Structure 1
Amino acid sequence: MTRKIAVVLALLAWLPSMQAVAAPRTPASGNEVIATLPRQDDGLRALRAAAAAAPADPLPALALARRYVALGRGSADPRYYGQAQAVLAPWWGRPDAPNDVRLLRATLLQNGHQFDEAQAELRHIVGTDPRNAQAWLTLATIQSVQGDVPGAIASCGRLSSLAAQLETFACLAAAGANTGRMRGSEQLLELGLERAGDTAPETRTWVLTMLAELAARRGDKAAAQQRFLTALRVAPTDSYLLGAYADFLLDQGRAADVPALLRAHHRNDALLLRHALALRAMGRHEALAPARAELQARFDAAARRGDAVHLREQARFTLHLLGDARAALALAQRNWRVQKELADTRILLEAGLASRDRAALQPVLRWIRAQGLQDVVVTRLVERAS
């Protein structure tokens, strides 16, 4: 893909959201500012130059692709992932690609919810390089998301001799979070954080966010609030953390606190959804209308692209903002076939109850019982479904 085509595709990806915000208009004068673009990252510029200067060398391409992935994680902007894939295009489909390329390819496949393909890449890596800690951690993460607890624990076990103790504890806690071992997972994380001392900010954010979510699942509002705020001091713009805290606030009837929290993050679909849910809870229907229209435009654009990454969010949008329980149930079922995290389970229960389809609820109810899943909100939903 040429640079010009990549730029055009990036702009096209942005157009649906721009069109939904406001109708076209002519500026009053040439001095009027109509948009403010992000500042060019000087480090990114240097990485691009290095990759362009050595197109046959995977090392500068990997450095640039990793930077794009980091930017995508920080902003939840999917265009960065597309740019990372474009950088790796010369090696993308090659069976003899270096393991470093395969690992990044697995990360990008994981981000696109192509979990089977990502696992195939990771199993190739650990088969040829069994001491690759990042591959074991990524494999465990995918297994946890898909509900393969024994597989995730086994992968975490392989990680234990290769990574810091806190990372291993976090891996095991994530694997056990949706089982009857949830409280043990929380205690393991607390112990790991206490012992860790100085840790990388991204690891500390991951652990603090997980601890906050686990406290919320037990119904310990005070502990969850304190942990969320501590995590936000470490990473105030982390998109996953902001979404998790916004969900906590919504569950606690504190919708009025959500718009300020997410004010600068409306380009992120998941966070715009939380903003809209808060407006609905507050009865701010006039402000809700444009946010709902914007979300509809983004989900329609994703459907045209064949993008199924945000099925969970689309199910929430369809149920709570459009009021279409049957359509929401269909989306939640499609999503749950791919991933089985707590939020995936919860929206499936909510949509099934709203549509009064008890037959659709039976698989998820059996899975909850088999796993021993613990969460105060899900427990209430299960009681209603039983």
Structure 2
Amino acid sequence: LALARRRLELAHQRGDPRLAGQALAALARWQDHATAPAEVLLTRATIQQYLHDFDGALLTLRQLTARADGARLAQAWLTMATILRLQGSYADSDAACRQVAAAGAPLYSTACLAENDGLRGRTAPARQALAGLLADPGLATATAAWLYTSLAELEARDGRDRAADAAFRQALALGADDYTRISYADFLLDQQRPGAALQVLAGQPHSDAVLLRLAIAGTRAAAPGAAAAVNELRERIALSNQRADARLLHGREQAMFALAIDGAAASAVTLARGNLTRQREALDLLLAARAARAAGDRQASAQVRQLQQKMGLHDRRLDALF
């Protein structure tokens, strides 16, 4: 377990899926889900999630939570809720969120449900729920940073840019993780503030996601080192594409690169549409809509709009593209 977790941590830092493969290999001796220790199954599902094997991760988690010892693991339910959310299955995610409370973590259950409410457009109650949690003076710093990030993303989707910026800054002041910095960098790029995005990402390990934002922000700001970041990422993409499933596993990053760096809108549409077959976060739909608009592809644009309506996703940035 220690080896698997360390390899997964390195995979996150370096953006190298081979390290995640090594993490899975470290757990290979436990093939029987019925007898494998609960922590082994939870770690395996987390690795599968990192590798974008979302269906595999859900299968592992469902097998785990069907067991008495697994049903009491709040993290297992929370991970399940997160995966179902990114697949666009908000109602199923809600059900998993409620199980988080039953497993003894009501704060995380409330935040989980609030995030889903915000995605559906129930922004006022979602905002109120997150603010209520943040009002607790005894809240752990890392938990507060996570809640501020969720609030910032809600505000960004609701078109409240000042409120979003303030919440992102609160999260950063608490020592936010890479996810928050990447999400804030995307927000700043949308606000035409590439220099600020570079500052937010300064000193972060060069995972693929971080390097991509550095390349985009650096190119837009004409910053020193931008060309090096672009070339390094281009090499990583070429290496990654030696795997047959790379365009599916990393379709979001490749679509962003094609659109923002190469100006290859048609290619970005293809990559973004492929990505939507696996993950359907707000960013994924937004990327697909932007690519379709840049390419003048009305059919692709209509498909994104239909998917948004089917999911019930509330995002004013997305609405503005149709």
Same fold (TM over 0.5): yes
* Cα displacement (A) at 1:81: 2.9
Give the equivalent residue in structure 2 for 1:255.
Answer: 194
1:160 is paired with a residue whose SS is helix
Does residue 143 of structure 1 match 2:81? no
Distance 1:182 1:67, change over 3 A: farther
AA matched with 1:264: G
Two-structure CA RMSD over aligned residues (Å): 2.3
1:331 is paired with a residue whose SS is helix
* Cα displacement (A) at 1:156: 0.9
Give the equivalent residue in structure 2 for 1:326.
Answer: 266
Give the equivalent residue in structure 1 for 2:35.
Answer: 96
Match of 2:208 among 248, 269, 272: 269
Question: Separation in 2 of the partners of 1:301 and 1:174?
Answer: 36
Give the equivalent residue in structure 2 for 1:288.
Answer: 226
Give the equivalent residue in structure 1 for 2:148.
Answer: 208
* Cα displacement (A) at 1:161: 2.4
2:313 is paired with a residue whose SS is coil
AA matched with 2:234: Q
Give the equivalent residue in structure 1 for 2:320.
Answer: 380
Give the equivalent residue in structure 1 for 2:166.
Answer: 226
Give the equivalent residue in structure 1 for 2:180.
Answer: 241
Question: Separation in 2 of the partners of 1:137 and 1:177?
Answer: 17
* Cα displacement (A) at 1:277: 1.4
CA deviation profile, 1:254-298 (whole Å, cap 9, x unmatched): 1122223223236211111111211232245x7433222111111
Structure 1 residues not aligned, in runs of 5+: 1-61
Question: Separation in 2 of the partners of 1:86 and 1:293?
Answer: 31
1:91 is paired with a residue whose SS is coil
Q: Which moved more, 1:130-139 or 1:63-72?
A: 63-72
Give the equivalent residue in structure 2 for 1:178.
Answer: 119
State the TM-score, normalized to the length of structure 2.
Answer: 0.90
Query: Is this contact kept in 1: 2:99–2:109, CA < 8 A?
Result: no
AA matched with 1:124: Q
* Cα displacement (A) at 1:223: 2.0
Task: Give me the identity figure in percent.
Answer: 39
Question: Separation in 1 of the partners of 2:12 and 2:147?
Answer: 16
AA matched with 2:193: R
Runs of 4 or more off by more than 6 Å in structure 1?
none
Question: Separation in 2 of the partners of 1:76 and 1:183?
Answer: 36
1:338 is paired with a residue whose SS is coil
How many aligned residue pairs are there?
Answer: 318
* Cα displacement (A) at 1:343: 0.5
CA deviation profile, 1:230-255 (whole Å, cap 9, x unmatched): 2112225x211111111111122211
Query: Is this contact kept in 2: 1:140–1:175, CA < 8 A?
Result: no
Matches within 5 A, 1:1-386: 62-70=1-9, 72-73=11-12, 78=17, 80-92=19-31, 96-129=35-68, 130-195=71-136, 197-236=137-176, 238-265=177-204, 267-284=206-223, 287-305=225-243, 306-307=245-246, 308-382=248-322
Structure 2 residues not aligned, in runs of 5+: none
Question: Separation in 1 of the partners of 2:192 and 2:213?
Answer: 13
Distance 1:83 1:215, change over 3 A: same
Structure whose alpha-carbon radius of gyration is higher: 1
